[in-house]
Amino acid sequence: MTDSKADQIRAFYDTLFSAWGCQHWWPAQSRFEMIVGAYLTQNTSWTNVEKALAALRTAELLSVDGIRRTPITELEKLIRSSGYFRQKAQRLKTFVKFLDKRYGGSLSRMFAQPVMKLRKELLALNGVRAETADSILLYAGNQPVFVVDAYTRRILERHGVIEARVTYDEIRELFEQALAPLGDEEFAQRMSGASGGVVERPRGSSHSPSRMSMASRTPLAQVFNEMHGLLVGVGKNYCLRSEMHCEQCPLQRHLPEKC
């Protein structure tokens, strides 16, 4: 075990990236598809989200204008596989109305705003909590904001890095501060050369490369992107809610001695 929380988090990153390489997360072909996916993945599996995205794509409605002009009853049918489809259809409509009213329907104008200002605006929208807002900022907006999910919290608690009462924003800030030294050009170059290909599951949460996963990012945003994907891989494959497979997990050597 390392002495500080920041050291532990950097050690986790080093271990996981060395083991699994680039995760190609978030899988999407456009910024708007990524945003739609962030809404649809709430309270469901990614497999169900992929079905809903495929239905929207087949109907040629996976765009701002497509969501804008589609009657809500039709939108509900198209995204039914994602669960809570009535709520999610309304939330997608709400996002497009926000984008139209505040930024003239332009994602580029929206993402040109100061990151914390935009984060506050997103959090004010119906159905957008911190994880969804930060996913949009990081993966669609190329903003250096770390995404905290249930996997992240579970892994940190089991490794003794945090306690259960720690808030979302406290965890987010911990990661952002811990990983900040890794966000330099030299590190980014080393990282991009380390594993640019596709890795086979269950090596993390890896996906086939997509237009968004291969998009140019700032070095720090790329580090946050990879760290989130790597932790998802641990949570999905080894650090499950009801059982743990520590012996096979790359992070096994970082567990507290009492484990």
pLDDT at 194 exceeding the cut of 90: no
* 167 shares its domain with 183: yes
* 46 shares its domain with 125: yes
Q: Looking at residue 69, what is its pLDDT?
A: 97
Percent of the chain with pLDDT over 90: 80
pLDDT tens readout for residues 158-168: 999 999 999 99
Last residue within a domain, chosen from 112, 140, 168: 140
* 72 shares its domain with 200: no
Percent of the chain with pLDDT over 70: 90
* 136 shares its domain with 162: no
Residue ranges making up the domain that contains 116: 31-140
Q: Is 195 helix (H, G, I), strand (E, B) or coil?
A: coil
pLDDT at 240 exceeding the cut of 70: yes
Band (208; pLDDT cuts 50, 70, 90)? confident
pLDDT at 1 exceeding the cut of 50: no
Residue 39 lies in a domain: yes
Provide the mean pLDDT of the chain. 91
The whole-number average pLDDT for the span 149-154 is 97
Band (195; pLDDT cuts 50, 70, 90)? very low
* 163 shares its domain with 136: no
Number of structural domains found in the chain: 2
* 239 shares its domain with 203: yes
Q: 143: alpha, beta or left, given left = phi > 0 and alpha = psi -120 to 50?
A: beta
The first and second tokens of residue 28, run together, are 């999407």
pLDDT at 190 exceeding the cut of 80: no
pLDDT at 133 exceeding the cut of 80: yes
* 70 shares its domain with 129: yes
pTM (two decimals): 0.91
Q: Looking at residue 203, what is its pLDDT?
A: 60
pLDDT at 186 exceeding the cut of 90: no
Amino acid at 142: N
Q: Looking at residue 199, what is its pLDDT?
A: 41
pLDDT at 212 exceeding the cut of 70: yes
Last residue within a domain, chosen from 89, 109, 140: 140
Last residue within a domain, chosen from 100, 121, 140: 140
CATH code of the domain covering residue 114: 1.10.340.30
* 156 shares its domain with 62: no
Q: Looking at residue 206, what is its pLDDT?
A: 72
The whole-number average pLDDT for the span 185-195 is 54
pLDDT at 197 exceeding the cut of 50: no
* 175 shares its domain with 218: yes
CATH code of the domain covering residue 151: 1.10.1670
Q: Looking at residue 230, what is its pLDDT?
A: 95
pLDDT tens readout for residues 27-36: 999 999 999 9
The whole-number average pLDDT for the span 89-101 is 98
* 115 shares its domain with 166: no
Residue 259 lies in a domain: no
Give the chain as a DSSP string: --SSHHHHHHHHHHHHHHHH-----S--SSHHHHHHHHHHTTTS-HHHHHHHHHHHHHTT--SHHHHHHS-HHHHHHHTGGGSSHHHHHHHHHHHHHHHHHHHTT-HHHHHTS-HHHHHHHHHTSTT--HHHHHHIIIIIT--------HHHHHHHHHTTSS-TT--HHHHHHHHHHHHGGG-SHHHHHHHHHH--S---TTSTT-----TTTTS---HHHHHHHHHHHHHHHHHHHTB-SS-B-GGGSGGGGGS-TT-
pLDDT tens readout for residues 96-129: 999 999 999 999 999 999 999 999 999 999 999 9
Q: Looking at residue 185, what is its pLDDT?
A: 56
Residue 155 lies in a domain: yes
